Copies of this chain bind each other. A is one copy, B any other.
Amino acid sequence: MKPLKIGLAGLGTVGVGVIRLLRENADAITARAGRPIEVVAITARDRNRDRGVDLSAMRWHDNAVSVANDPDIDIAVELIGGSEGSARDMVEAALSRGTPVVTANKALVAIHGNALNSIAIENNTVLMFEAAVAGGVPAIKLVREGLAADHLQSVGGILNGTCNYILTEMRATGRDFSDVLSEAQQKGYAEAEPSTDVDGWDTAHKLAILAGLAFSPLSFDTMPVHGIRDVTAIDLKFADELRYRIKLLGLARRGKNGEVEAWVRPCMVPASAPIAVVNGVFNAVTTQGDFSGPMTISGRGAGEGPTASAVVADLIDLARGASLPLWGTDTSPAPKSCVSLDTIESAFYLRVNVDDRSGVMAELTSVLRDHDVSVHFVSQHDAPENKAYLALVTHRVSEKSIRAASAALSELTSVRGAPLVLKIEDFQ
C-alpha cells in the first residue's frame, strides 16, 4: 500500500526519536496504520550536525515553511517548538494548504489553538498534538476521546517533569531549591534558562490545552501562574509531617455558573492521593467526571522515546482516518477568562519564619483572626539564630482572606521574609 509521506521540521531529541521509532517499529506501525509511514522531507537549523541517524534518503529543505509547502508530503510534523516564528509559520502554512499537522508544541496550541483551529476547519484538515501534553502519556486522547461522553468537573495534574524532579529531590535530600536546580541543570533535567519550567509556564500551556478539551478554550493570559521558586526545604519537611506532598499542579475546574477556574501553583496534596506517588520526572493527569468518577494516568512526560511515541501515535490515527476537531467539537467556542483566585475557597498551608520569642504566636493568631482565617493545626520547627518556622493549616477560607492575612503578617516586626501560602488540594 502507498506509504504515508511525512515532512518533518526540527531534528532535536524528539525529531530524531520519531525517525528512529518509525524505523525500529516499522512492521508493527505499518500493520496498525494500515500503510507504511515514511519521513520524506526534513529541515533543521543545522544541516551538517551528526544526529546518529541516517537522513540521506530524505529531501532537505532550507526552512520549515518550505517543508510544509512540499507538494509530495501528506502530513507535516512540527517539532521546532515555541509559540511564534518558524514553528507557527510552518503549522499555518501546512493547515492553509489543507495538509494535516502533527505537533508536540504546547505553547503554540495553548496560545494560538483557536486561531489554528479556524484555519484547520476552513481548509478541511486537522491539527494533532498528543505529544504536547504529558509526553508519552496519551492525555489528549484520554480527555478528548476516552472521556468524550462524560461531563468533567476537573482536569489537571503534574504536568512538568523538571519541577516534579526538583520537588522530589528537595524532599529526598532536604536541600533547597537553588541547590537542586543547579544539580538538575548539570544533569540535563533542567534548562540553562529554567524559567519556562520552574515558573510554571510550561505547566500553564499544558493546562490550557487540557482545560480547552474538558471545558472551554481559555484566554491564556488570564490564567494565574505561580512556580516553585518560593518552596523551601522546611516546607517539604512540614508537608511530610502533615502527610502531604508538595507538587506543582496545573488544575482546571468547572465553576458553578459555567465559568472555569484554572491555575498553576505548588500545592499540598494528600499523601494518599494517586498523584502523590508520582515522583521524579514523571507526569500525571487526573480527571473527575460525573459518570467516570476519578481517574489518573501517569508516565514519562518528556524525553525522546515517550514524546516520539505520542507523535507517531498521532500519525497512525491520521493514517486510519481518525481525526478530530481541535477542541473535540465542531463548534469553535470563544476563549473564556479564568476566574480570579480571590473567589476560590480552600484550606491553605501557611508557613511563616518568625523570631522565637514569647508573644509571637499571639500576634500571628490575632492577625489571622482579623482576616477571618481560622486555624486547624499548627506546627513549629526551630531555626538557627533564635528563629523558628511556623506552619499553620487553615480551615476552609477564601483565597482573598488568606492572601490579605499573609500580607499583614509580613508587616509584623517579628516576621522574617514573606510567608508562603500553599493551597491544600484534596481533589474534592
Contact = CB atoms under 8 A, between A and B. Distances in A.
Contacts of A308: 149, 291
Contact of A321 (B29, B146, B291, B321): B321
Interface string A396-421: 00000000000000000000000000
Interface in A250-306: 272, 274, 276-278, 289-300, 303, 305-306
Contacts of A172: none
Nearest to A329: B31
A324 interface: yes
Interface stretch (A137-145, A191-199, A373-381): A137-145
A interface SS class: mixed
Interface stretch (A66-74, A76-84, A311-319, A352-360): A311-319
Given A32-B329, A272-B277, A148 B295 contact: no
A149 B313 contact: yes
A295 B313 CA distance: 15
A290 B293 CA distance: 31
Given A148-B32, A320-B324, A136 B292 contact: yes
A331 interface: yes
A151 B306 CA distance: 12
Contacts of A321: 321-322
Interface in A198-217: none
A15 interface: no
A164 interface: no
A148 B315 CA distance: 10
Interface string A144-156: 0111111100000
A17 interface: yes
Most buried by B among A297, A300, A306, A310: A297
A114 interface: no
Which range contains the number of A residues in contact with the other chain?
35 or more
B274 A292 contact: no
Nearest to A139: B146
Contact of A293 (B17, B136, B295, B313): B136
Given A147-B313, A150-B309, A292 B300 contact: yes
A316 B149 contact: yes
A142 B300 CA distance: 14
Most buried by B among A29, A150, A311, A313: A150
A296 B293 contact: no
Given A32-B328, A293-B305, A145 B138 contact: yes
A185 to B, nearest CB: 23
Given A138-B147, A151-B24, A305-B290, A296 B295 contact: no
Contacts of A311: 149
Nearest to A311: B149
Contact of A34 (B29, B291, B298, B330): B330
Contact of A295 (B17, B130, B145, B297): B297
Interface in A5-43: 17, 21, 24-25, 28-29, 31-34
Interface of A: 17, 21, 24-25, 28-29, 31-34, 130, 136-138, 141-142, 145-151, 272, 274, 276-278, 289-300, 303, 305-306, 308-313, 315-317, 320-324, 328-331
11 contacts: A21-B291, A32-B149, A145-B316, A145-B322, A146-B310, A148-B313, A149-B310, A272-B277, A277-B277, A290-B305, A322-B323
Given A141-B141, A149-B316, A292-B305, 12 more contacts: A21-B150, A25-B149, A25-B290, A31-B331, A33-B148, A138-B142, A138-B146, A149-B308, A149-B312, A149-B313, A292-B300, A293-B303
